[in-house]
Amino acid sequence: MKIFNKGKLKEADEFTIKEQNISSDELMERAAIQLFGWLKTQLKENRPKINLFCGIGNNGGDGLALARLLLNDGYEVEVYIVNFSDKRSDDFLLNLKRLKEHQFWPEFINENSDLPELNQGEIVIDAIFGIGLNRPAEGWIKELIQHINQSKSYVIAVDVPSGLYLDKAPEVPEAIIKAETTITFQLPKLVFFLPETAEFAGRVEIADIGLDQNFIAKTASEALLIQQHDAQRLYKPRGKFSHKGTFGHCLVAGGSYGKMGSVLLATKAALRVGVGKVSALIPKCGYDILQLGIPEAMVITAENEKFLEKTTIDFTPESICFGIGAGKEEATKEYLEQLLKERTAPLLIDADGINILAENQELLNYLPEKSILTPHPGELKRLLGEWEDDFDKLEKAKAFSLKYKVIVVIKGAYTITIADKNLYINSTGNPGMATAGSGDTLSGIIAGLVAQGYDATIAAVFGVYLHGKAGDLAAEKLGFEAVIADDLIQHLGEAYKSLFE
C-alpha cells in the first residue's frame, strides 16, 4: 500500500473531487460516514459519552460531520470548537451550519475557557488538526492537548493525532495528542511507523474514502507499506520438476568461539525458507555444533580454531551471508575484503560484518552493487554516524544506499528496507521478536531467498515480511515472552502458507 506525503494527499483529494465530479464536502461526508461506521461497530450496544474536539479547518469539519451522524443515531455528544483563529475552512462552516440546523450548538472554547471535564469511560474524538498542521500547537491549545492526554478517556484521532507533522520530527512532543486509535483516511502515513512518532497514533485503522484509485496507482510514492497482498505478489511458486539445484546454494560465513549458534540459526533459516543447499563456513571449533545441530547443511571450516579467515571453497554459491557472530579479527576483516573484491556472489552483510565495514570505511567502496546490509539501530549508527531524528536517519540511510548502490534493511518494530530511494515498510512482526538470534534468522532468510533467484530488493522486502509473519504466528501460539529465534524458523512454513489465506 502506498504512503503519500502531505502534498500528494492534497493532490489526490483535488483530483478525486474533479474526476468524480463531487464537492469537497461530499468527501468530508464520506470521511465522517467511515468514522461513524467504525465507532458504531466498535461500540456495539455501548453508548458512552462522546466528546468531540474540532479545530476550524477540514479536520475539524470531519469532526462536526461525525458529531451530526452520532447525534442522529442518539449518542450523547458534546462538541468543543477549538477556536484558535477566524480562518475557518468552507467545509468546516458548512458542517457547523448543518449541525445548528439540527438544533445543536457546540461550545466554542478559547484561552479563557475552563478545560472541559473528561472522564473515564468516555470517548474523546480528536479532530483539532489534521494534515494541515504547519507549526507546533502552543499556549492554551497545547494545554488542551495535554489535558486530553492526561484524561482517562479513550482517545481516537481523526486522520492524524493533532500536533503530529507528516513530514518532519515533532518539535514539541508534549503538544501532540497521544491517541489509543487513529483512523486515517485512505492511505497510511509514514510517521505511524517511525520509532519516535508511532506511539502518538496508537493502533491505526485505514478508512477508505474513495480517493481516485487511478491517481493513487499512477502517482509515485516515497514509501510503501508491505502487507499480505503485496508480499503475496513477490512470492515465486516452486515448479513441479524443480530439484535442489534449482533453488541455489547459500553460503553462511560467520561464527566465532562462543557464537556458533548464530550461524546455526541463519543456516536453518536459509533451509526453511526454501534454499536448495546451504554450506556453513565457520572456524574449526564449530564443526560438531553445526554438523549435529543441522544435518541438512554442509560444513566447511576455516584453518583457524576460533575465528573466520580466508578460506578457499570449491563451489560458487548463489548468495553469501557474511558476518553473524564473526567477531572483528584482522583475519576476518581480510576475508571480508577479499569477498568484496572478488565479487563471486551476491552478498548479505550483517552484524560484525557491518561493524567491520563501519570501522574500515574504505571497504565500502568495494561493496558490490545490490549487496544487502541488515543493521539494527546500533550497527546503523556505527555505519552512518549519529542522526538527529528519524527523518534525518532515513535521509542518511537513503543517501548511503544511493552512494554505494546497496540495500539497507533497518531492523526495528517496523523494519524499513531502503533500495533505489524507495522505502518499504514492513507490517508484520511483534515485540516477541526482540530476542537473541532473531536477526540471525532474518539474515538466513534473506540470503536464502537471494540464492533461490529472488532479486536482492525483493528478497529483502519479502524476507522481512516472512520473518515478521513467522514471529506473529509463533507469538499467537506461545505469547510474546516465550518466542525464541528458533520458533521463527519453525513458523516459516506457516508464514508462506498464510500469504494465500
Ligand X SMILES: NC(=O)C1=CN([C@@H]2O[C@H](COP(=O)(O)OP(=O)(O)OC[C@H]3O[C@@H](n4cnc5c(N)ncnc54)[C@H](O)[C@@H]3O)[C@@H](O)[C@H]2O)[C@H](O)CC1
Contact residues for K ion (CB under 5 A)? Answer: 59, 126, 157-158, 162
Site for ligand X in 199-218 (CB under 6 A): 209, 211
- Least spacing, CB of residue 200 vs K ion, in Å: 10
Return the number of the residue (89 or 452) whose C-beta is nearest ligand X: 89
- Least spacing, CB of residue 130 vs K ion, in Å: 5
- The reply to whether 131 sits in an annotated binding site is yes
> Longest Cα pair distance anywhere in the chain, in angstroms?
86
- Least spacing, CB of residue 330 vs ligand X, in Å: 55
131 binds, among K ion, ligand X, none (CB under 5 to 8 A by kind): ligand X
The dihedral built from the CA positions of residue 212, 218, 224 and 225, taken in this order, carries a sign that is positive
Of 61, 276, 463, 468, the one binding ligand X by CB under 6 A: 61
- Least spacing, CB of residue 226 vs ligand X, in Å: 22
- Under the binding rule (CB under 6 A), the answer on residue 185 touching ligand X is yes
323 binds, among ligand X, K ion, none (CB under 5 to 8 A by kind): none
Q: Which residues contact 135 (CB under 8 A, 6 or more apart)?
A: none
- The reply to whether 355 sits in an annotated binding site is no
DSSP state of 106: P
3-state secondary structure 261-315: HHHHHHHHHHHHCCCCEEEEEECHHHHHHHHHHCCCCEEEECCCCCCCCCCCCCC
- Under the binding rule (CB under 6 A), the answer on residue 86 touching ligand X is no
- The reply to whether 415 sits in an annotated binding site is yes
Query: 53 - beta bridge partners?
Result: 80, 126
Listed as own residue / partner, the contacts of 88-93 with beta carbons closer than 8 Å and 24 or more positions apart are 88/56, 88/57, 89/56, 89/57, 89/58, 89/60, 89/61, 90/24, 90/25, 91/24, 91/25, 91/28, 91/58, 91/61, 92/54, 92/56, 92/57, 92/58, 92/60, 92/61, 92/64
Of 3, 9, 349, 408, the one binding ligand X by CB under 6 A: 9
Stretch near ligand X under the rule CB under 6 A, chosen from 58-66, 213-221, 236-244, 467-475: 58-66
* Residue whose grid cell is 511483534: 430
- Under the binding rule (CB under 6 A), the answer on residue 329 touching ligand X is no
126 binds, among ligand X, K ion, none (CB under 5 to 8 A by kind): K ion
- Under the binding rule (CB under 6 A), the answer on residue 34 touching ligand X is no
Stretch near ligand X under the rule CB under 6 A, chosen from 125-133, 282-290, 385-393, 450-458: 125-133
# of chain residues touching ligand X (CB under 6 A): 31
Stretch near ligand X under the rule CB under 6 A, chosen from 81-89, 297-305, 317-325, 333-341: 81-89
Stretch near ligand X under the rule CB under 6 A, chosen from 54-62, 235-243, 329-337, 444-452: 54-62
Of 81, 137, 156, 459, the one binding ligand X by CB under 6 A: 137
Between helix 58-72 and helix 24-43 the angle, nearest 10°, is: 50
- Least spacing, CB of residue 148 vs K ion, in Å: 11
Pick from 494, 249, 194, 290: which is nearest to 467 by CA?
A: 494
331-363 in b/e form (b: 16+ CB < 10 A) is ebbebbbebbeeeebbbbbbbbbbbbbbeeeeb
3-state secondary structure 305-326: CCCCCCCCCCCCCCEEEECCCC
Q: Which residues contact 116 (CB under 8 A, 6 or more apart)?
A: 51, 78, 80, 107, 109, 147
Return the number of the residue (98 or 310) whose C-beta is nearest ligand X: 98
Return the number of the residue (26 or 455) whose C-beta is nearest ligand X: 26
Distance between CA atoms of residues 455 and 451, nearest Å: 9
- The reply to whether 376 sits in an annotated binding site is yes
- Under the binding rule (CB under 6 A), the answer on residue 129 touching ligand X is yes
Query: 407 - beta bridge partners?
Result: 372
Report the phi/psi class of residue 253: left, alpha or beta, with left for phi > 0 and alpha for psi in -120 to 50: beta
Q: Is 101 exposed, middle or buried (0-12, 13-18, 19+ CB in 10 A)?
A: exposed
Residues 281, 300 contacting (CB under 8 angstroms): yes
- Under the binding rule (CB under 6 A), the answer on residue 183 touching ligand X is no
Of 131, 183, 263, 433, the one binding ligand X by CB under 6 A: 131
Return the number of the residue (53 or 247) whose C-beta is nearest K ion: 53
Residues 300, 313 contacting (CB under 8 angstroms): yes
9 binds, among ligand X, K ion, none (CB under 5 to 8 A by kind): ligand X
- Under the binding rule (CB under 6 A), the answer on residue 134 touching ligand X is yes
Binding residue positions: 58-62, 126, 130-136, 159, 162, 325, 376, 411-415, 439-440
Binding residue positions for K(+): 59, 126, 162
Binding residue positions for (6S)-NADPHX: 58-62, 130-136, 159, 325, 376, 440
Binding residue positions for AMP: 411-415, 439
Chain positions contacting ligand X, by CB under 6 A:
9, 13, 27-28, 31, 55, 57-62, 84-85, 87, 89, 129-137, 141, 158-159, 185, 209, 211
